[in-house]
Structure 1
Amino acid sequence: MPAEIRKTLLHVENTLIEGGKVAEQPLKMIAAIAVIRNPWAGRGFVDDLKPEIQDCAPGLGSLLTDMVLEAAGGGDMVEGYGKAAIVGVNGEIEHGSALIHTLRFGNFYREAVSAKSYLAFTNTRGPANAAMQIPLMDKNDGGRRSHYLTIQLQVADAPAPDEIMIALGASIGGRPHHRIGDRYQDLKELGHDVDNPASV
């Protein structure tokens, strides 16, 4: 049975000024959220989560990806990306993990934005109005620190104890005025081979 969705939300924020200085390129961050009934709610400890993963994850991945792409203006516009889940207090963190840590969910997004990096994530448990944090990273370059961002938001009535909030996040642009370099610069300064960071 597909996910029982109570509501969806689209969060869009545009940062025009940061540190008192106008951004050369405004930063746009987008979050697409679905509040769903926890498919394992009220069933006690469930050993095999796979049937519900297969039923729910693909539809959620497709829906949330479409919401992000519409708000961004297409997959090519997305630069940073990530995902998150908050499980209501009657559920297990494993329930949120089951829905977002599967290729049946994430591949819709990854393929739609032509990404190479893994999807940064958080999965937590909390009450209604708990802060959801969606970490972002560059979709093609995990060492590009300008795109290490976090979308933070709250939904006043979600998740209910028997619900899960599932989200995808995106950025168009990186942090305004970013000036801490990237991972590769640090590796060079520390004497590491950029192509083989474990070597000295």
Structure 2
Amino acid sequence: MPAIIRKTLLHVETTLIEGGKAAPIPLKLIAAAAVVKNPWAGMGFVENLKPAIHDVAPDLGALLTSMIIEAAGGGAAVEGYGKAAVVGLDGEVEHASALIHTLRFGNHYRTAVGAKTYLAFTNIRGGANTPIMIPLMDKNDEGRRSHYLTIHFAMPDAPAADEIVIALGASIGGRPHHRIGDRYQDLKDLGHDPANPAAV
């Protein structure tokens, strides 16, 4: 059965001043969320989640990706990206995980923005108005700390006990006054080879 979507939400936040100082380039954070019926609601413990994953996840990936791309003005504009899911109280965290931790969901987004890194994520259980937090990282460079960001919002009426909120997040730009360096300089300072962090 395809995804049963009760509502969608597009959240856009633009930061013009940070730390009392104007941002050289405003930071735009975008989140696209869908409130969907939990496909396993009322079924008790389901051993094989794959059939519903295949039915539901691709539609959600395509829908949320299109919402992000339209709001961003194109995939090339997206610099940081991430994903999140909140399952209602009658569901399992595994249900939230199932719909976002599949290539049938995430590859829509990766392809649209030309990403190389993995999608940072959160997946939790909670009631309506649970904070939805989408961690972001640079789509091409996981060590670029300027794009370690979090989109934070809530939906007062979701998720219901038998629903899941599924969300994608994007940033256009990084933190306005980034000044903590990146992972590579830390590795050098600690005597590690940035190309081989495990070696000393």
TM-score range, shorter chain: over 0.9
Q: Deviations over 1:107-135 (max 9, x none)?
A: 00001000000000000000000000000
Q: Deviations over 1:10-55 (max 9, x none)?
A: 0000000000000001000000000000000001000000000000
1:4 aligns with 2:23: no
1:22 aligns with 2:22: yes
2:164 is aligned to: 164
Report the Cα distance in structure 2 between the residues aligned to 1:60 and 1:2, rounded to whole angstroms: 9
Offset, 1:160: 0.3
1:191 is aligned to: 191
2:31 is aligned to: 31
Report the Cα distance in structure 1 between the residues aligned to 2:46 and 2:194, rounded to whole angstroms: 45
Displacement over 2 Å in runs of 4+:
none
Report the Cα distance in structure 2 between the residues aligned to 1:190 and 1:50, rounded to whole angstroms: 44
Report the Cα distance in structure 1 between the residues aligned to 2:25 and 2:191, rounded to whole angstroms: 33
1:41 is aligned to: 41
Report the Cα distance in structure 2 between the residues aligned to 1:166 and 1:67, rounded to whole angstroms: 13
Q: TM (normalized to structure 2)?
A: 1.00
1:117 is aligned to: 117
Read off the aligned partner of 1:138 and give its amino acid letter. D
In the TM superposition, 1:101-116 aligns within 5 A as: 101-116=101-116
Read off the aligned partner of 2:13 and give its amino acid letter. E
Offset, 1:180: 0.2
Matched-pair identity in %: 75
Offset, 1:4: 0.2
Q: TM (normalized to structure 1)?
A: 1.00
Please list every run of 5 or more consecutive structure 1 residues that lacks an aligned counterpart in the other structure: none
Aligned-residue Cα RMSD (Å) equals 0.3
Report the Cα distance in structure 2 between the residues aligned to 1:174 and 1:83, rounded to whole angstroms: 17
Secondary structure class of the residue paired with 1:186: helix
Offset, 1:79: 0.1
Please list every run of 5 or more consecutive structure 2 residues that lacks an aligned counterpart in the other structure: none
